[in-house]
Chain A
Amino acid sequence: MDLLQWLSAILLLSGCALGVIGGIGINRFPDFYTRMHAAGVTDTLCAGLFFGGLMIHFGLTLASAKLFLIFLFMLFTCPTSTHALAKAARHSGLVPWTKTSGVEQGASK
């Protein structure tokens, strides 16, 4: 494999790692806000690394241009959807978890 293939593989693997970390975060964190933090923060970079790796793999082709457009779409919509979720939760009066508040909301332990 030449250098670009390796670069693409590294990007894809680190994207995978971020996705898995986000998944672990969703399972392990105690309440809605912290879980959403885990998912929302990793999601955008995970998708970005994926599309970066695929674009390097395909080179300068039409497929790369389409991937770039999807990447732009994800870049705008992922943080916005996280924002909308957090806002909806705060509006409906969900109180953030603290160490002293104790009760975990449906954590899988």
Chain B
Amino acid sequence: MSDHLILRIVGKFLIPYILLFGLYVQFHGDFGPGGGFQAGVIFASAFVIHTLLFGLESAERIAPQWVLKIVAASGVLIYALVGVAAMLMGGNYLDYDFLAADPIAGQHIGIILVEFGVGLTVASVMMLLFFTFAGRGEAS
């Protein structure tokens, strides 16, 4: 792995922009094409490139598996809590209209929070899957 100079330099150059594009797709999701699922996969692909170029140990130092597991679970929790919050504020489960005084503002807040949860879960689960397969044969 030590002699892949071109791949490493191009990878180092591209990874920040891939992360940025992932965030763009995440938070532009309610104005244009995008959303949590796509953004999560794009975000995770940056970490996959990092793992391919710099090794599993380096990637696990940046994103340890126990952190990823917590993030994956908390994404689902955010999704569920938005639904419960809508119920507490007088609507049905995941009824975004009740999240703010103005129904349209409520829709905005609701969809952004829910997509944020989806993005967190998808990104961390993709990374966990890749790390699990990449680490097979080394751990045992």
The chain A residues found within 8 Å of chain B, CB to CB, are 73, 76-77, 80, 83-84, 87
> Closest residue of chain A to B10, judged by CB?
A80
The chain B residues found within 8 Å of chain A, CB to CB, are 4, 6-7, 10, 13-14, 17
Contacting pair B10 A77 (CB below 8 A): yes
Which residue among A73, A80, A83 has the maximum number of chain B CB atoms within 10 Å of its CB?
Answer: A80
Query: Which DSSP category, helix, strand, loop or mixed, fits chain A's interface?
Result: helix
Contacting pair B14 A83 (CB below 8 A): no
Cα A77 to Cα B21 with chains together (Å): 15
Contacting pair B6 A76 (CB below 8 A): no
Q: What are 15 A-B residue pairs whose CB atoms fall within 8 Å in the complex?
A: A73-B14, A73-B17, A76-B10, A76-B13, A76-B14, A77-B10, A77-B14, A80-B6, A80-B7, A80-B10, A83-B6, A83-B7, A84-B7, A87-B4, A87-B7
Least CB distance from A39 to B in Å reads 18
